[in-house]
Amino acid sequence: MLLLRSLALAVAIAIIVLVGLAVITGNPRYKRWAMRVGVGFVAAAVILGLGVLLSSMLAAT
């Protein structure tokens, strides 16, 4: 669990840095990378959330 939290924090910092670079430099390449990382992180969070929900539903039955 601690590893997952530290990984989430690292990804959040990476997104903030990429968006900051995109805003400061005006380079659209950084913005694309920030969007890719953000979409991947959201997809991973949704998959993990569904997995936890499904396992808790199975444990309740």
The per-residue pLDDT for range 13-31, each reduced to its tens digit, is: 877 777 777 777 877 777 7
Mean pLDDT of the region 4-17: 76
Q: State the amino acid at position 59 in one-letter form.
A: A
Q: How many CB atoms lie within 10 A of CB 34?
A: 20
pTM of this prediction exceeds 0.75: no
Does residue 47 surpass a pLDDT of 80?
yes
Domain that holds residue 14: 2-60
- 22's CB contacts (< 8 A; 6+ apart) are 28, 30, 31, 34
Mean pLDDT, all residues of the chain: 77
Query: How many domains, in total, are found in the chain?
Result: 1
The owner of tokens 């949704």 is: 46
